[in-house]
Amino acid sequence: MKIALTSLVTAAVCFGITSATGLASHSSTHGRGVTIPVGQVVNFPALDLSCLYPAKDPDHQERGAILYCNRPSDTNPDDKPASLLVSKYHFKVSATGASGWTYTVWRHP
């Protein structure tokens, strides 16, 4: 009886340690998800990135909601800031000062 009880307690402790370690590593690796409502602006100061999530593309070139990001540190009025646009259909990237999208990736939803 004593051996069975010792084995059960040892197994429970090992399971608890394994579970706690697994949960801790998952939360620290993946962080927590954040749902952003349409129409909000989100800033990532450590990345020098500001993103807008409008319900539709103001230029009417993309269907549906988009995510548009640029760098707030690009303050030269003569240059367009480096930017990124993500939609259900494309990823578009432009370099600082570019007159159009420098790079476009097509995706199929």
Instruction: Give mean pLDDT, residues 2-19.
Output: 45
Contact yes or no for 109/88 (Cβ under 8 A): yes
Give the pLDDT confidence of 33-56 residue by residue, as tens digits. 888 888 899 998 998 889 988 888
Label residue 90 by pLDDT band (50, 70, 90). Answer: confident
Would you state the structure tokens that stand for residue 26, as one six-digit string?
């998952």
> Does the pTM exceed 0.85?
no
- Asked whether the predicted pLDDT for residue 4 surpasses 50, the reply is no
Q: How far apart are CA 61 and CA 52, in angstroms?
A: 16
- Domain coordinates of the chain in residue numbers? 1-32, 41-106
Q: What are phi and psi of 83, to 5 degrees?
A: -145, 170
